[in-house]
Structure 1
Amino acid sequence: MTDQIAMLWMRGSLSFLERLCVQSFLDAGHHVILYSYEPLDRVPEGVETRDASLILPETGDLVHERTGSPAPHADRFRYLLLARSEGMIWADTDAYCVKPFRTLDGHLYGWESDKHVNIGVLALPSGSPTLAALMDFTGDPHAIPPWEKPWKQREMAAARDAGEPVRAIAENWGVWGPQAFTHFLGETGEIARAMPQAALYPYSFAERRKLLMPGKDHSDAITDETLSIHLYGRRIRKRMAERDQGLPDPDSLMGQLLIKHRIDPCEAPLA
């Protein structure tokens, strides 16, 4: 019995990118639970769907101001889910499964760069001190990030005391995600369990364009220890829509993965 994979797609139709990632887990033998706030279209057969509001009701408040992204909501959602669901593994809908996932004593996460441990693939035991810290920190939208420079913390504290608290999640990307996760992992010592970059993020965010390069050799990045490839969905979808007529080159890594899992991108176009 493989571990269960939990995902969140808030609403709307899945594009070929999300379908690819979901299908990759199914093909690896995982049971996939896809949470959403409305019924979804184009969900691959075999996926169990659940109501996301049972974990975290949607209020519309937990968004990144500049982009309008609900990433802070998704960050809080996964921490709540892991705290309530022992043995569950979280995966973003742009995380592609190379090999079946297994946790080590309930832990599964990895470095995405030399600065941050990402949360695109994540498992923590319910008793993890890191998870407890994340639950506490993300429970307050006005919490002051303890890793900020002292002068910045003083500035935010002064604004709070003046009755005008700063919502860090609205201003800065990743405050509740990789920034908080990396900080609290380091504080608790659980960062020692983080897997090397090749395991879950063989291409970093800065290298994401390589996913769409036709004819590229990926053997230096994707190795025997690679379990997942993060596809950086929001940015990759935007790039394909603007420069590639919404379709990946069949000879790119993205194109080859679609062929492998028999997914026709024309049947699930980008939104």
Structure 2
Amino acid sequence: MRPDIVTFWHGPLDALRLLCLRSQVAMGHKVTVYSFDPLAQLPDGVGNAEAEAILPHSFAERLRPTGPDGVWRDWTTLQFSDFFRMRLMARAAGLWLDADVLLKKPVEIDPAKPYFAWERPRQLGNSVLYLPPGDPIVAAFASLIQQDELTPDWLALRHRLTFMLRKLRGYRRLSDVRVAIYGPAALTALARRAGELRYALPKKSFYAVHAEPKLFFEPRDISALTGDPDIIGFHISPKGRGNTAPVPGSLYAWAAERFGA
């Protein structure tokens, strides 16, 4: 089955992410971006839906309080999106792709089975994620979100000890301690507990350039990346380079030529 694609975004979209959204549409997917404010200049074929109906804006206060101006601080958006994608899974909304996932080919899933890939040797990525609504991982997040302190029961012992020590120093929230505690680390721990690691695709399926952005932004021989049939897409993680111009000879330039406006 070729699923609908869903994601969440807070703030303006940069040129790279607009390119990635165009690639998702070009591969034949219906794409919807959830946001709290209307998003301008979305590519043709990309819908914009209200995020408040999925997870209220106020939930961010349980992660990290905003400043006096109400602006989300530090990694609030990242942690909020970790919960948001699980809420979408509970609603059977579709396949989650981060807005910086560039598709090279269509994604096909079995709606009865999880869909994700290894990001690192011992860690799953959650930038590409589908879970059936009744999956144990979805249920674990549904239970967690009811807690005031948002402290998972799947934390590794070292993370529990770290949190205990930090609480003695005045930390109130687990979200103050570890930026990705609800993201890939959580997905990996829960998939292991549920016996679902066997569903994980190889790292290169989506994360061939994730750890080395230069493979995407700098000129080089890209034939191994563009010609590999096992690479479905690229999670890019631009780290501040989302509005830089593509350099000729780079994978970015190849993508811009293929999916550019």
TM-score if structure 2 supplies the norm length? 0.85
CA RMSD of aligned residues (A): 2.7
- SS of 2:213's partner is helix
Q: 1:80 to 1:144 in 2, by over 3 A?
A: closer
Contact 1:145 / 1:153 at 8 angstroms: preserved in 2?
A: no
Q: 1:217 to 1:178 in 2, by over 3 A?
A: same
Alignment partner, residue 4 of structure 1: 4
Mapped partners of 2:20, 2:242: distance in 1: 17
Alignment of 1:223 onto 2:228: yes
Alignment partner, residue 201 of structure 2: 195
1:2 partner letter: R
Mapped partners of 2:176, 2:214: distance in 1: 27
Alignment partner, residue 168 of structure 1: 174
Alignment of 1:84 onto 2:91: yes
Q: 1:115 to 1:218 in 2, by over 3 A?
A: farther
Provide structure 2 residue ranges, at least 5 long, that are not aligned to the other structure: 66-71
Alignment partner, residue 251 of structure 1: 249
Aligned length: 251
Provide structure 1 residue ranges, at least 5 long, that are not aligned to the other structure: 264-271
1:43 partner letter: L
Contact 1:134 / 1:181 at 8 angstroms: preserved in 2?
A: no
- SS of 1:29's partner is coil
Contact 2:210 / 2:236 at 8 angstroms: preserved in 1?
A: no
Contact 1:156 / 1:166 at 8 angstroms: preserved in 2?
A: no
Deviations 1:221-244 (A, max 9, x none): 9621111100113x1xx2466xxx
Alignment partner, residue 217 of structure 2: 212
Contact 2:213 / 2:236 at 8 angstroms: preserved in 1?
A: yes
Mapped partners of 2:209, 2:223: distance in 1: 10
Q: 1:217 to 1:25 in 2, by over 3 A?
A: closer
Contact 1:110 / 1:194 at 8 angstroms: preserved in 2?
A: yes
Mapped partners of 2:26, 2:210: distance in 1: 25
1:231 partner letter: I
- SS of 2:126's partner is strand
1:180 partner letter: A
1:250 partner letter: P
Deviations 1:68-93 (A, max 9, x none): 4510100100001110126x111110
Which deviates the most, 22-31 or 68-77?
68-77
Matched residues, percent identical?
25
Mapped partners of 1:225, 1:196: distance in 2: 9
Q: 2:186 aligns with which of 180, 191, 199?
A: 180
Mapped partners of 2:258, 2:103: distance in 1: 12
TM-score if structure 1 supplies the norm length? 0.82
Q: 1:95 aligns with which of 79, 94, 101?
A: 101
Q: CA deviation at 1:250?
A: 2.6
Q: CA deviation at 1:134?
A: 2.9
Alignment partner, residue 266 of structure 1: none
Mapped partners of 1:3, 1:147: distance in 2: 31
Mapped partners of 1:34, 1:159: distance in 2: 36
Mapped partners of 1:125, 1:11: distance in 2: 29
Deviations 1:175-219 (A, max 9, x none): 1000100001011101110111111212232x1221111133351
Q: 1:185 to 1:196 in 2, by over 3 A?
A: same
Mapped partners of 2:49, 2:11: distance in 1: 12
Alignment partner, residue 30 of structure 1: 29
Contact 1:198 / 1:226 at 8 angstroms: preserved in 2?
A: yes
